[in-house]
Amino acid sequence: MTNNRLVLDGEAVAKEIKEQLAVRVRRLAEAGVTPCLATVLVGDDPSSATYVRMKRSACRRLGIDSRLVQLGRETTTAQLVAAIRELNADPAVHGILLQHPVPHGIDERAAFEAIGIAKDVDGVTMLGFAQNAFGVAAFPSCTPAAIMALLDYYRLPIAGKRAVVVGRSPILGKPVSLMLLNRNATVTICHSQTVDLPAAVGAADIVVAAVGKPRFIRGEWIKEGAVVIDAGYNPGNVGDVDYEACAVRAGAITPVPGGVGPVTIAMLLQATVDAAEAMARQR
């Protein structure tokens, strides 16, 4: 492996963000406001339950109130939308997170769209996506925001660079592509129909892997010195990048775990505090 490879430590980035947030949470407490994140969990998927526990634990450690709304697998779209609308109307709730994925049979997009834009701290609504596209989103999607935070923390240049995003989901691949574009990168979005994917990846100065397939990005695809951001997480603590092979060529790379993941949670907490401050100013 190259001796000058930079491992992008998401734990360190998240720690700094949380330290700054702790000061803001204390100031809100002095004003009689406790930031509150409501998480809606539908069904009994064990992975989703684990993610929710992690997020709630992170909230508690920072002094953010964490409210869990747990609904059964038999919940209908109408019932889920009604539960979300109740949270919209609750002035004590500042952010709403619908844990993805929801059980089969529920219209997930309808549920996302029920979240009020002022409480859409995970950037999942179509309005939030549009605001992100224009560079004015108060709450961009958390994983894309985490990727940008990592690049900025390590002062990795974006403007003028060729960025390739492998994956086009509406809450990861597409929004991070727009965020990179808004920062003056030249962006290519790749997907299952991309012809000669290795060549596309090989031309990139920045590679974002968001495809949801373990070790999908191969080492020989990576341009020497490229920045490799692995936004995937698969069973067995494996990302979307073949880490060992890609690290040989990369100039900077995120590990899994300990890369994008911790910063994603920190960005969710930051958005919740931002929302609480915004609502406090309106009182």
Catalytic residues: 55, 99, 122
Q: Sign of the C-alpha dihedral, residues 231, 236, 241, 247?
A: positive
With 0-12 CB in 10 A as exposed, 13-18 as middle and 19+ as buried, what is 254? buried
> How much helix, strand and coil, in percent to the nearest 5, is found in the chain?
45, 15, 40
CB-CB neighbours of 135 under 10 Å: 12
267 close to 58: Cβ distance less than 8 angstroms: no
- Do residues 126 and 117 lie in contact, with contact meaning Cβ atoms separated by under 8 Å? no
What pairs with residue 90 in β-bridges? none
Cα-based distances in Å from 139 to 16, 221, 261: 19, 33, 17
Q: Report H helices in 118-212.
A: 126-133, 142-153, 173-182, 197-202
Strands lying side by side in the sheet with 95-98: 65-71, 36-42, 95-98
Order of all β-strands in the sheet with 186-190: 6-7, 252-253, 227-230, 206-209, 162-166, 186-190
8 A C-beta contact, residue 180 and residue 135: no
8 Å CB contact between 95 and 58: no
**CB distance 112 to 119 below 8 Å:** no
